[in-house]
């Protein structure tokens, strides 16, 4: 069982710690942060060891998760550089490429993860890539940790921009659809809370049905839409307004921005 350090104990780190805690992947977790408030919260919530010293956390663990904002990562890498020896370093910072991490931490084993916010409820969809010194065992260990918080796919780093577009930014796009569904429900007479729960449950159920049954999206559409029925009327409106093209452009814009930020 590997010991794990978390540097930065904000939303994403707290969610990952919570999932690791529940799955009993590791009982040895230490967390460091410059925010006393976050440290106190995490200590109370998970009863893990905490420290204000990033070096102490990184120096005494097998795997070091860096969970600070991208603009804060260089300061952390410089700080822990001399205590990282045989540890695996895992960065979840959006847009920070492996090349940059490897330039900072020379010859070190590094993995880069693109997580998503649904980690907060154990339903993360993530992609991750390995630097040139990371081993097969490192990939297996990180895969185990990430899969305890949802699902995670190992892939080439270039593909992480597409992951950013679909699942990194995706929760915001789905939240936007749910907002529109709720507005439309209210407009058609439903109480807000009922419209909200119906829209959310429909989104959850549709994803679950597709993942668990193995039916395709086309097959599911065919199962719901009968000739001259209500669903066809709605689908025709989607086609008339070229919503598929708009969604493609939405994802493309996010992927493009991710590529720009990674340069
Ligand atoms: N949120 C998302 O949807 C999402 C999705 C994909 C990837 N990510 C990535 O996940 C990472 C963490 O995001 P988050 O939303 O969890 O951030 P967050 O809530 O702001 O947490 C970051 C924590 O790190 C602390 N920190 C900053 N500099 C530090 C330092 N030098 N040493 C120790 N601790 C330090 C911060 O303290 P202060 O508050 O005092 O600065 C804060 O407590 C980011 O890199 C982000 O790109 C997030």
Instruction: Dump pLDDT digits (tens) for 42-68.
Output: 999 999 999 999 999 999 899 999 999
| Domains in the chain: ranges and CATH | 4-160 (3.40.50.720), 168-262 (1.10.3730.10)
Q: Residue of the nearest CA to atom 20 in ligand 1?
A: 10
Ligand 1 atom 24: residue of nearest CA: 8
Question: Does the beta carbon of 72 sit less than 6 angstroms from any atom of ligand 1?
Answer: yes
User: From the CB of 75, is ligand 1 less than 6 Å away?
Assistant: yes
The Cα 122–Cα 147 span in angstroms is 9
Q: pLDDT tens across 102-126, in order?
A: 999 998 999 999 999 999 999 999 9
Q: Which pTM value belongs to this model?
A: 0.93
End-to-end, the C-alpha distance of the chain in Å comes to: 36
Q: What's the pLDDT tens digit per position in 15-45?
A: 999 999 888 787 899 999 999 999 999 999 9
Ligand 1 site, residue 202, Cβ cutoff 6 A: no
Whole-number mean pLDDT of the chain? 95
Query: Is any atom of ligand 1 closer than 6 Å to the C-beta of 8?
Result: yes
Does residue 93 line the site of ligand 1, with CB under 6 A? yes
Residue 74 Cβ inside 6 Å of ligand 1? The answer reads: no
Closest ligand 1 atom, CA of 70? 45
The Cα 28–Cα 20 span in angstroms is 10
Q: How far apart are CA 74 and CA 141, in angstroms?
A: 25
Helices (H), 83-191: 98-104, 136-147, 160-163, 170-187
Asked if residue 226 has pLDDT above 80, the reply is yes
């Amino acid at each position: 069982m590997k010991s794990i350090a978390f540097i930065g104990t904000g939303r994403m780190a707290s969610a990952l710690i919570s999932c690791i805690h529940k799955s009993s992947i590791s009982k040895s977790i230490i967390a460091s942060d410059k925010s006393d408030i976050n440290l106190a919260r995490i200590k109370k919530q998970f009863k893990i060891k905490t420290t204000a010293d990033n070096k102490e956390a990184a120096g005494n663990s097998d795997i070091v998760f860096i969970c600070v904002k991208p603009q804060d990562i260089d300061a952390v890498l410089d700080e822990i550089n001399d205590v990282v020896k045989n540890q695996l370093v895992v960065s979840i910072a959006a847009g920070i490429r492996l090349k940059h991490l490897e330039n900072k931490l020379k010859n070190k084993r590094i993995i880069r993860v693109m997580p998503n916010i649904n980690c907060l409820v154990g339903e993360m969809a993530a992609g991750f890539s390995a630097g040139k010194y990371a081993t097969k065992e490192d990939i297996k260990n990180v895969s185990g940790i990430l899969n305890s918080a949802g699902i995670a796919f190992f892939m080439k780093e270039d593909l992480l921009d597409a992951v950013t577009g679909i699942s990194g930014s995706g929760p915001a796009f789905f939240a936007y659809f749910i907002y529109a569904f709720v507005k439309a429900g209210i407009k058609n007479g439903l109480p807000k809370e009922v419209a909200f729960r119906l829209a959310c449950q429909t989104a959850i159920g549709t994803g679950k049905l597709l993942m668990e049954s193995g039916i395709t999206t086309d097959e599911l559409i065919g199962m719901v839409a009968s000739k001259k029925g209500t669903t066809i009327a709605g689908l025709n409106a989607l086609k008339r307004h070229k919503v598929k093209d708009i969604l493609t452009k939405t994802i493309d814009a996010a992927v493009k921005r991710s590529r720009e930020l990674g340069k």
